[in-house]
Amino acid sequence: MPFALEQGYEAIVTIDGNDKDDPEAIPRFIEAVESGVDFVQASRFIAGGTAENTPPSREWAIRWIHAPMLSAFSGFGWTDTTQGFRAYSRRMLLDPRVAPFRNVFDTYELLAYLSYRAPRLGYRCVELPAIRRYPQDGTVPTKIGGMRGNLALMRTLVAACLGRFDPPGGA
């Protein structure tokens, strides 16, 4: 991301590299940022979104733990907070109160942190419908697995909600 900003890009769209997200939503993400939105989050759980073959435990955790916690602590009503299909404005990414380019973000911390931090700072956030398909054969392409991986994700979620990733001295 820093390279794109150094090149003068006004926004950055990210998408997970595991082939679960349908990139057809990218033009809508770009339109949203061009209209003044600072943070766009894909959601398979809002009208127009599609969730195919989502493992039941994963859907339950997103709908009943991850998204509700980030919603409560950020003040924004998130529905789908664990995926990296997003768009960010240059203005938000360069704000020193956000400071996303720090070494503290080395696994999934940045995803939870930005969902928490952006609304708290008054940035304009939206969720847009998107399609997320897990393979029909029941495999789950992810780096998060087992009890250890899920506990690490929960620790990250709690730390983000408690402001532990906020930059030093950030208001």
Give every CB contact of residue 3 below 8 A, 6+ residues apart in sequence.
Answer: none
Cα separation, 147 vs 171, whole angstroms: 35
Q: Write the CB contacts of 96 (distance below 8 Å, at least 6 apart in sequence).
A: 167, 170
pLDDT for res 144: 56
All residues at 6 or more sequence positions from 31 whose CB lies less than 8 Å from its CB, including other chains? none
Residue ranges per domain, the chain?
2-161
Give me the pLDDT at residue 161, please: 97
Q: What is the pTM of this model?
A: 0.91
Handedness of CA 148, 71, 101, 38 (dihedral sign): positive
Amino acid at residue number 69: M
For position 143, what pLDDT does the model report? 54
Question: Which pLDDT belongs to residue 138?
Answer: 60
Query: Tens digit of pLDDT per residue, the chain (171 long)?
Result: 788 999 999 999 999 888 899 999 999 999 999 999 999 999 999 999 999 998 888 899 999 999 999 999 999 999 999 989 999 999 999 999 999 999 999 988 999 999 999 999 999 999 999 999 988 876 655 555 666 766 888 999 999 999 999 998 766
Residue pair 95/126 in contact (Cβ under 8 Å)? The answer is: no
